[in-house]
Amino acid sequence: MSIKDWQNQKYNEAFNDALNQIRHLRDIDPNFTKESLQNLLETAYVHEGNNWTGRGAVGDMEHEARIAAYQQILAEWETEPESGRHTG
């Protein structure tokens, strides 16, 4: 396995974990709204630039994957009809 393959695998794992986490939150928590997800995304953006703990390449990649997953779920949520799963 090349380094690029390993990086792609790690990114995909982090992305899918974040997707599953947010989808699960939506399913179990009626108080989890679009605004809740937008707040998570905004916080992730802030943390993206605050690498004071030295996440390293793997940590940066996982963080980028989490942001991409939040963006995807938010985009999906925006296109759901009002009678969809949770509205927020």
| Cα(73)–Cα(28) distance, integer angstroms | 16
Expressed as residue numbers, the domain containing 58 is: 3-79
Here the tokens at position 62 are 């996982």
Res. 9 pLDDT band, cuts 50 70 90 = very high
Asked whether residue 25 is domain-assigned, the answer is: yes
- The dihedral over CA atoms of 63, 65, 70, 71, expressed in degrees to the nearest 10, equals 120
| Cα atoms in the Cβ-side hemisphere of radius 13 Å centred on 15 | 13
Residue pair 69/40 in contact (Cβ under 8 Å)? The answer is: no
Condensed to tens digits (0 to 9), the pLDDT of residues 12-63 reads 999 999 999 999 999 999 999 999 999 999 999 988 776 656 667 778 889 9
Give the count of domains, the chain.
Answer: 1
Q: Which of 66, 59, 68, 64 is nearest to 18 (CA)?
A: 66
Would you say residue 87 lies in a domain? no
pTM exceeding 0.85: no
Q: Is 26 within a domain? A: yes
Confidence band of 88 (pLDDT split at 50, 70, 90): very low
* Separation CA 44–CA 88 (nearest Å): 20
- CA pair distance 49, 44, nearest whole angstrom: 9
User: Does the residue 84 lie in any domain?
Assistant: no
Task: Decide if 27 is inside a domain.
Answer: yes
